[in-house]
């Protein structure tokens, strides 16, 4: 009788848990090779399809985390951080890069850690932290030196040289670039050597030694012609055109810049096409060929506006992918929790039924009546359980639907916030262009026209200061970041509306250039406004303003 009960018990196990549980245990985990493949796919799409790159790397991170595959986790964080860096989202880029660096350090993977540190250095430079950037590049240089990887040493030296050049420390910058040059010459790496020669020419150009600058630009161009690197050739030609323009050789400048424009047009490199048009416009203007100057500047402006719109669309696509990925991860976690709860309930029910069957099998010969009563009691218990289970399932479904609704509302508010920000940026940029053109016309028009134009300029200035779009922007921002303004006012009660706007833009991870465009002010005015905001918030020296605002 007990053996028969055991057979019935086995059947119940199969019915309750089902064949899927057994097959799920037999299925192997996703192989580590698949994680590596996803990260490789992400790296291939870093520049052309950043939203796809983010999707692949996020999937790789999720799979690697489930497997406990530390190398895959680090690689995924490194790729995601690089995606955010190229999209200008520096705070999140740094967060992912630091996580990757910690794992590389734990694994003593010095080569990957060095590459990661160089990437961190680029992020620190873009968030105006040159000291931290130098520390990261120097650590990367030390690691590459330890492992004896000469191309890594040369790249780190080049990064440090560019950093010192941007700080106007030209002698130090030149020393680092010349060291990098020596390594690339030893390695016979023509492409790396061409890049370093271009950097050295840029240093001489900054020092206004245009003869030396052109010498290095020409040497870099010759190497790029050998390697067939058309993109770097365009940069060489543009720089040669700039150096000739700055020294008054306009015909040579037009010739070199024209070659750069033709090559960039063939390669469909819109950024270089726009730059070449602008350089041609400047040269024609200096050569008193105003019609050609206007035509080229206008062409450059139109291409720049198209590029700006495309970049904005890419950033929006990345944000949408970010929200969608987070939503899917939340859904997966919710389903896993629900499955665990369901398994627990089945096991509990199985245990109860098993106890009833064993007790019934032991005393069935003498207590038939009691067995019938126990069976009836068991059926009632099962009915009550089923009713409770249905109520629990309904409550879980209602909770899931509420979460979905809240997630959709958050995504909608975030998309509206992005749209309003882009709208303000585009409108302010248009007003800046109109303002500049009107200001230029003041130099030539009659007195009556000057009065009208001055009136228009005042109205534009007024539009910069009093814009209804800021009210809409604040309403949407408060729906996404609920307590941000309250916490900000608690920290300082002296904040002006302009201070609050600037803090909100920092919270959105906007670049300094974009913040200046949205606020309708110059880069210098933005630095002053940022200093005043730091002072009112009483931030200690060295603490990053953007990082602080993200903690509110």
Q: How far is CA 302 from CA 297, 308, 437, in A?
A: 9, 10, 15
Task: Give the other-Cβ count within 10 Å of 538's Cβ.
Answer: 8
Element spanning 179, H or E: helix 170-187
pTM, full prediction = 0.51
- Please give the structure tokens belonging to residue 444: 């030539």
What is the CATH T-level fold of the domain 482-552, as seen in this structure? Arc Repressor Mutant, subunit A (1.10.10)
Q: What is the pLDDT of residue 213?
A: 93
- Please give the structure tokens belonging to residue 128: 């105006």
155 contacts 179 by C-beta, under 8 angstroms: no
Q: What is the pLDDT of residue 552?
A: 78
Average pLDDT along the chain, 552 residues, taken 10 residues at a time: 44 41 42 90 84 89 91 94 87 93 93 94 92 94 94 94 92 94 93 94 92 93 90 90 91 90 84 86 87 82 70 54 58 66 76 76 73 80 78 75 67 58 64 71 67 71 59 78 84 86 87 84 89 89 86 81
Instruction: Collect contacts of 231-235 with beta carbons under 8 A, ≥24 apart.
Output: 231/267, 231/269, 231/272, 232/191, 232/194, 232/195, 232/198, 233/263, 234/260, 234/263, 234/264, 234/267, 234/269, 234/272, 234/276, 235/198, 235/272
Task: Give 338-370 as a 3 state SS string.
Answer: HHHHHHHHHHHHHHHHHHHHHHHHHHCCCCHHH
**Distance between CA 421 and CA 425 in Å, rounded?**
6
Q: Enumerate the domain spans of the chain.
A: 482-552
In 3D space, the residue among 87, 86, 83, 81 whose CA is nearest the CA of residue 103 turns out to be 81
Q: What is the pLDDT of residue 8?
A: 43
Q: What is the pLDDT of residue 184?
A: 94
DSSP, residue by residue, 270-303: HHHHHHHHHHHHHHHHHTT-HHHHHHHHHHHHHH
**Distance between CA 263 and CA 233 in Å, rounded?**
9
Q: What is the pLDDT of residue 218?
A: 94
Q: What is the pLDDT of residue 329?
A: 57
Q: What is the pLDDT of residue 447?
A: 72
Chain centroid to Cα 64, Å, comes to 21
């Amino acid at each position: 009788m007990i053996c028969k009960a055991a057979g019935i018990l086995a059947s119940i196990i199969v019915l309750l848990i089902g064949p899927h549980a057994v097959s799920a245990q037999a299925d192997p985990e996703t192989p580590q090779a698949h994680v590596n493949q996803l990260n490789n796919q992400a790296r291939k799409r870093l520049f052309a399809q950043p939203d796809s790159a983010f999707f692949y790397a996020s999937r790789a991170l999720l799979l690697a985390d489930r497997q406990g595959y530390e190398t895959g986790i680090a690689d995924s964080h490194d790729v995601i951080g690089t995606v955010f860096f190229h999209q200008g989202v520096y705070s999140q880029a740094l967060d992912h890069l630091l996580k990757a660096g910690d794992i590389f350090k734990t694994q003593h993977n010095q080569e990957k850690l060095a590459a990661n540190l160089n990437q961190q250095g680029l992020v620190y430079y873009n968030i105006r932290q040159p000291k931290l950037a130098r520390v990261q590049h120097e650590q990367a240089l030390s690691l590459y030196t330890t492992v004896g990887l000469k191309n890594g040493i040369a790249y780190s030296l080049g990064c440090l040289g560019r950093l010192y050049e941007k700080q106007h420390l030209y002698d130090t910058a030149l020393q680092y670039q010349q060291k990098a040059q020596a390594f690339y010459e030893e390695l016979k790496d023509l492409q790396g050597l061409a890049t370093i020669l271009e950097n050295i020419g840029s240093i001489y150009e900054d020092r206004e030694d245009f003869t030396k600058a052109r010498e290095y630009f020409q040497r870099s161009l010759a190497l790029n012609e050998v390697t067939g690197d058309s993109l770097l050739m365009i940069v060489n030609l543009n720089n040669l055109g700039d150096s000739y323009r700055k020294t008054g050789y306009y015909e040579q400048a037009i010739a070199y810049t024209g070659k750069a424009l033709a090559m960039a047009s063939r390669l469909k490199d819109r950024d270089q096409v726009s730059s070449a048009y602008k350089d041609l416009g400047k040269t024609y203007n200096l050569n008193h060929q105003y019609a050609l100057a206007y035509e080229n500047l206008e062409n450059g402006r139109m291409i720049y506006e198209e590029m700006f719109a495309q970049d904005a669309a890419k950033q929006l696509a990345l944000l949408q992918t970010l929200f969608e990925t987070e939503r899917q991860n939340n859904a997966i976690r919710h389903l896993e929790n629900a499955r665990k709860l369901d398994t627990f309930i089945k096991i509990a029910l199985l245990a109860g039924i098993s106890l009833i069957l064993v007790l019934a099998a032991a005393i069935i010969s003498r207590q038939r009546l009691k067995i019938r009563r126990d069976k009836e009691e068991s059926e009632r218990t099962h009915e009550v359980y089923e009713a409770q289970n249905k109520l629990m399932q309904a409550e879980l479904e209602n909770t899931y639907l509420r979460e979905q609704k809240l997630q959709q509302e958050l995504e909608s508010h975030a998309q509206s916030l992005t749209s309003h920000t882009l709208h303000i940026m585009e409108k302010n940029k248009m007003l800046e262009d109109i303002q500049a053109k009107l200001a230029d016309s003041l130099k030539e028009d009659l007195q009556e026209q000057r009065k009208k134009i001055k009136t228009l300029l005042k109205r534009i200035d007024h539009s910069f200061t009093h814009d209804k779009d800021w009210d809409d922007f604040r309403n949407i921002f408060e729906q996404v970041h609920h307590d941000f303004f309250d916490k900000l006012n608690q920290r300082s009660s002296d904040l002006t509306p302009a201070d609050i706007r600037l803090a909100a833009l920092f919270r959105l991870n906007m670049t300094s250039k974009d913040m200046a465009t949205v606020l309708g002010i110059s880069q210098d005015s933005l630095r002053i406004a940022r200093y005043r905001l730091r002072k009112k918030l009483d931030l200690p020296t060295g603490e990053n303003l953007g990082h602080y605002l993200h903690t509110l």
